[in-house]
Structure 1
Amino acid sequence: MKKVYLDNAATTQIRAEVLEKMQDSLANFYGNPSSTHSFGRSTKTAIEKARKTIAKYLNAHPSEIIFTSGGTEADNMILRGAVRDLGVTTIITSKIEHHAVLHTAEELLQEYGIKLHFVDLDEFGNPKLSHIEELLKQDATKKLVSLMHVNNEIGNKIDIVSIGNLCRENDVLFHSDTVQSVGHYPWDVQAVPIDFLTAAAHKFHGPKGVGFAYIKRNSGLRPLIYGGAQERGFRAGTEACHNIIGLEEAFVSAYDNLEKEKAYVEGLKKYFIEEVKTELPSAKFNGYSGDMEKSTYSLVNVCLPYSPEKSLMLLFHLDIKGIACSRGSACQSGSDKGSHVLTEILSEEELKRPSVRFSFSKYNTKEELDYVVGVLKEYAQD
């Protein structure tokens, strides 16, 4: 059976060079990085080298990079810390954020009684700048804005510089979940007015279980996890050196090959959109995912023209045909609820039809896309 993996927004295939580096680190950097002997010092040196490398690419200071288990932990660290340590009493976000942000903000509402405001969205799912500005000026409470750079379900790119400038002008903290953005777009934390961002290695061909938070110097945040003094006191627990080295290698490979690989994946997305429009003219691209300029180059979210009966079996049918894709975030699998993102932007009628996210990587081919579109067309005609 043909196998086609088009769920790269959920996780990506690890690069061969990343795997090689990780295997080498497991064999050679096994000393505890907190130990003072040579074995520990070697491991610690490798970790600090990775931190400096990532900081250099982001134009950050190495002390501003804190390694975590991934984006979810990093989002929790920042949002909870902002309320607990920085006096934030108002969080401004949107209803289409990743649940790592949404559920954390909702929990903070229950725990601390903070104010929680949701930015109005346009019909495509983009936050309205005018409403953000209105919320920023609404009262004198200490505020944090948390808006993701690239939406993980519909691929919309927000105007992160304009939002950052609004926050800076109003003396408001700005956090962005950049899990779908870091490794896919250049980042300069000196050029973008931002206080916190988060990343996960497995979104750019690195290992699962490792990511980082960018936390601007002298932020005042305290640890989320207490114990030892690892990660400059921000995160207790022995560092997973092999994962951090894998993150570093994936990060460097992503940026050193960015233009070439972006152009290739961009070409795949454009080709897929054209084929879907030709073979399934009643299909609709959700959000801005069908727009090459306003959405990320690596995914589309398509509302397909199938009957309710066929909709129920669509993902099962695609899986039987060897096609991996998603009806929403992989983090929602097992939930009987529909996509919270699409619920915000689609009509009741559109929500009755199946919407599928197809996300691409450097490992995909046009031949694979032809096969997928053929399967979709055949299913519509059965």
Structure 2
Amino acid sequence: MQKYYFDHAATTPMHPDVAAAMIEVMTGAGGNPSSMHAFGREAKHKVNRARDGIAAALGCKPSEIVFTSGGTESDNAAIIGVAAAMKKKGKNHIITSKAEHHAVLHTCEALAEAGYEVTYLPVDHTGRVSVEEVAAAIRPHTALISIMHGNNEVGTLQPIEEIGTIAHDHGVLFHVDAVQAFGTAQYRLSEMPVDLMSFSAHKINGPQGVGALYIANGTPFEPIAHGGSQERKRRAGTENVAGIIGFAKAVEICVNNRENKQLLLDKLRTEWVEQLKSRLKGTEIVVNGNAEHHLPQIVNISFMGIDTETMLMNLDMEGIASSSGSACTSGSLERSHVLKAMALSEERLNSAVRFSFGLGNTVEELEDAARKIATIVERIRTNQ
């Protein structure tokens, strides 16, 4: 049976060049980057070279990059690390949005239980935060604003430049979860009003289990992991050398192919919506998210009148991989908190499916999958 992978927002297939770079490290002599002997120095050199490459791609200093185990740790470290440091300065208020990834929301909930104040901003029906509401939520004791760049469920892009400017005008630190946006968005962090930014390798055809956190020099921060003095004492633990090398290679590929990749993803997203609309004449489909400000690789679609779980089960039976939202909540029957935050109708909320595209997907593949979906929808409607 032909299989179609349309769930790149959950994780992306590893690029062959990334795998090759990692295998070279994993089958080499080894060495702990903290060891003083030649093997350790060589491992340290590899990590530093990877850090230099990633920093150059992000437009920041190598010393501002901290390697982590992925996006979740990067988000947790940014929020908890800043919150702890700023609390000592008498600031214990955090602002975020109701449409953030659970790595941010659950961290904020944990901090609220520990005595911090948290404001959860609403989003509009397209998933976008109001800059005016961000400004209005700032208080004298506000320590941090955390707003993601590109939403992982509907693809909506947030106005991070405007939010960051407002934050800095009020002396507030700004964290951006860029895990989903990094593959297509271009950043020059030294020129942006951003103090912390989170990344993950497996969203850009790199390995799982490795990510990075940008911490601008001078940003108040306390580490959440203690032990060794790795990462300039900001993240203890032996570095994942092979993973870091793979991450750097994935970033290099992204930088060199960003323009062509974005054009292809835009084409795939547009073609997918057009194919479905042309083939599903008897079924209304609605695209959820912002029509203008969105990631090119994600499209969230409501198949009106067809239950999400029923649709996903039938898609899987036909070899089509998609999702109902974040992979971190898979197995849960609870509807998307992002779509709920957007205040969509129950019909749209209960029939939404996320498709996301990337390496390996083609227009021809989408055409074939769309034909299968037309058959699936007809079968479901017949049995309703």
Shorter-chain TM-score tier = over 0.9
Contact in 2 for aligned 1:306/1:380 (Cα 8 Å): no
Task: Tell me how far apart the structure 2 counterparts of residues 27 and 312 of structure 1 sit (CA, whole Å).
Answer: 43
| Identity over aligned pairs, percent | 39
* Aligned residue number for residue 344 of structure 2: 347
Q: What is the letter of the counterpart of residue 134 of structure 1?
A: A
After TM superposition, list the pairs within 5 Å mapping 1:29-178 onto structure 2.
Answer: 30-87=30-87, 88-111=91-114, 113-136=115-138, 139-178=139-178
Task: Tell me how far apart the structure 2 counterparts of residues 328 and 273 of structure 1 sit (CA, whole Å).
Answer: 18
How far is 1:128 from its partner?
0.9
1:283 matched to 2:285: yes
How far is 1:346 from its partner?
4.1
Task: Tell me how far apart the structure 2 counterparts of residues 222 and 203 of structure 1 sit (CA, whole Å).
Answer: 27
1:370 matched to 2:367: yes
The TM-score normalised by the length of structure 2 is: 0.94
- Shift of the 45–314 alpha-carbon distance from structure 1 to 2, 3 Å rule, reads same
1:22-81: CA deviation from partner (whole Å, max 9, x where unpaired): 000112251111110000000000001111111111111111000000010011111111
Task: Tell me how far apart the structure 1 counterparts of residues 244 and 116 of structure 2 sit (CA, whole Å).
Answer: 35
Q: Secondary structure at the match of 1:32?
A: coil
How far is 1:351 from its partner?
4.5
Contact in 2 for aligned 1:180/1:203 (Cα 8 Å): yes
Contact in 1 for aligned 2:13/2:359 (Cα 8 Å): no
* Aligned residue number for residue 295 of structure 1: 294
Contact in 2 for aligned 1:283/1:303 (Cα 8 Å): yes
Query: Which segment is superposed worse, 139-148 or 238-247?
Result: 139-148
How far is 1:261 from its partner?
1.5
* Aligned residue number for residue 258 of structure 1: 258
Contact in 1 for aligned 2:150/2:295 (Cα 8 Å): yes
Contact in 2 for aligned 1:145/1:173 (Cα 8 Å): yes
* Aligned residue number for residue 233 of structure 1: 233
Task: Tell me how far apart the structure 1 counterparts of residues 344 and 193 of structure 2 sit (CA, whole Å).
Answer: 35
Task: Tell me how far apart the structure 2 counterparts of residues 54 and 132 of structure 1 sit (CA, whole Å).
Answer: 30
How far is 1:307 from its partner?
3.9
How far is 1:270 from its partner?
1.1
Contact in 2 for aligned 1:265/1:362 (Cα 8 Å): no
Query: Which segment is superposed worse, 268-277 or 202-211?
Result: 268-277
Contact in 2 for aligned 1:29/1:241 (Cα 8 Å): no
1:314 matched to 2:311: yes
Q: Secondary structure at the match of 2:225?
A: coil
Contact in 1 for aligned 2:206/2:246 (Cα 8 Å): yes
Contact in 2 for aligned 1:343/1:351 (Cα 8 Å): no
Query: Which segment is superposed worse, 36-45 or 367-376?
Result: 367-376
The TM-score normalised by the length of structure 1 is: 0.95
For structure 2, list consecutive stretches of 5 or more residues without a partner in the other structure.
380-384
1:175-207: CA deviation from partner (whole Å, max 9, x where unpaired): 010001112211111222000000000000000
* Aligned residue number for residue 359 of structure 1: 356
- RMSD value, Cα: 1.3
Contact in 1 for aligned 2:86/2:143 (Cα 8 Å): no
Query: Which segment is superposed worse, 84-93 or 151-160?
Result: 84-93
Task: Tell me how far apart the structure 1 counterparts of residues 277 and 163 of structure 2 sit (CA, whole Å).
Answer: 33
Task: Tell me how far apart the structure 2 counterparts of residues 334 and 362 of structure 1 sit (CA, whole Å).
Answer: 26
Task: Tell me how far apart the structure 2 counterparts of residues 219 and 314 of structure 1 sit (CA, whole Å).
Answer: 46
Contact in 1 for aligned 2:4/2:320 (Cα 8 Å): yes
How far is 1:335 from its partner?
1.8
Contact in 1 for aligned 2:126/2:288 (Cα 8 Å): yes
Task: Tell me how far apart the structure 2 counterparts of residues 352 and 66 of structure 1 sit (CA, whole Å).
Answer: 38
Q: What is the letter of the counterpart of residue 92 of structure 1?
A: I
